[in-house]
Amino acid sequence: MRRDSLTAFLEHIHPRSVPEISTRVSFTFCLGGLATAMFLVEILTGALLMLYYFPSIPNAYPSIQRVMYFAPYGFVFRNIHYWAGQAMVILVLVHMVRVFLTQSYLPPRQLNWVIGVILLGLVFIEDFTGYLLVWDERAHWAWTIARNLTEKIPYVGDGFASVLFGPLHVSDLCLIRVYAWHVLFLPATLAFLMSIHYWKVRKDGGISTPL
């Protein structure tokens, strides 16, 4: 069974043929590919910013200022990181709208639609956790509001809020928890689901054709 699954995976990475019309830019607008490109830009620039960022309450904002005003080309990489993140959110959202309007979620692509919806939610969370890492006054209140709202989720709210945002009382552990999600767990999950997403596109015969 395992061998058959591996064979199916390898055979569908690059299918023998796809509908020619589904490869036209005027149909897909390359939105999924552009979103992936923004994700790669985020990884590269984020790795550079990690060299200067200090995930603690008293040092987070000053470390951002050091990046902006003292690190060589720091302001360039931080602005690229910020705007690529906003672009990724917009591209994934518009991509989902395009898929919906062209009914590309219909069989046999239902599972890939679900994966896409999960990816959209994770991209929003990834962008929000990055916003919190600045830890200025706005980020502090955004963390407070988000944590309080998360606690209101029935049955699992308290535990989920603690896992995602850290303890109720503000401390370094809160920022470290958000930092870990932003630079490790969320990107790894996104990369894994994106790989499955692309594989499913290939396995289901390529991008759907226009209606």
Tell me yes or no: is domain 30-203 CATH 1.20.810.10: yes
Residue spans of the domains in the chain: they are 30-203
Q: What is the pLDDT along the chain (211 residues), one digit of tens a residue?
A: 455 666 666 665 665 566 676 667 777 889 999 999 999 999 999 999 999 999 999 999 999 999 999 999 999 999 999 999 999 999 999 999 999 998 889 888 999 999 999 999 999 999 999 999 999 999 999 999 999 999 999 999 999 999 999 999 999 999 999 999 999 999 999 999 999 999 888 888 777 776 5
* CB environment 150-172: b (16+ within 10 A), e (fewer): bbeeeeeeeeebbebbbeeebee
pTM exceeding the 0.85 threshold for the entire prediction: yes
At which residue do the structure tokens 């401390």 appear? 171
Q: Which amino acid is at 18?
A: V
| Nearest CA among 96, 149, 148 for reference residue 123 | 96
**If DSSP codes are grouped into helix, strand and coil, which group holds residue 171?**
coil
How would you classify residue 106: left for phi > 0, otherwise alpha for psi between -120 and 50, otherwise beta? beta
